[in-house]
Amino acid sequence: MSRPPSLVTVGPAGIRFSCSVCEGQLFTDREIKLNTTGAEFFNMGWANQSAVGLVCQKCGYLHTFVAGVRFWKPEGGYPEPAS
């Protein structure tokens, strides 16, 4: 089950993320399987790695990340940048 729409930061530096299509800032998430030909050939697709899919709530574009995604409540906003 995905969480409610959230603000997102990415990477170790916690960079504020916005949609590359419409610049929206609210996203829901879903698991995406990173299928490989070999695993699918042997009917082992379930063993492939997963990624985080961020779905923009403004335009529906799907962004894919392997790691480094953090979610923030919209009413709380983004954290203050480290000085």
Q: What is the pLDDT of residue 79?
A: 78
Model confidence pLDDT, tens digit, residues 23-41: 999 999 998 877 666 655 5
How far apart, in whole angstroms, are the C-alpha atoms of residue 68 and residue 83?
21
Inform me whether the pLDDT recorded for 63 exceeds 80: yes
Query: Does 61 score more than 90 pLDDT?
Result: yes
pTM: predicted TM-score of the whole model, two decimal places: 0.75
The domain segmentation of the chain, as residue ranges, is 7-72
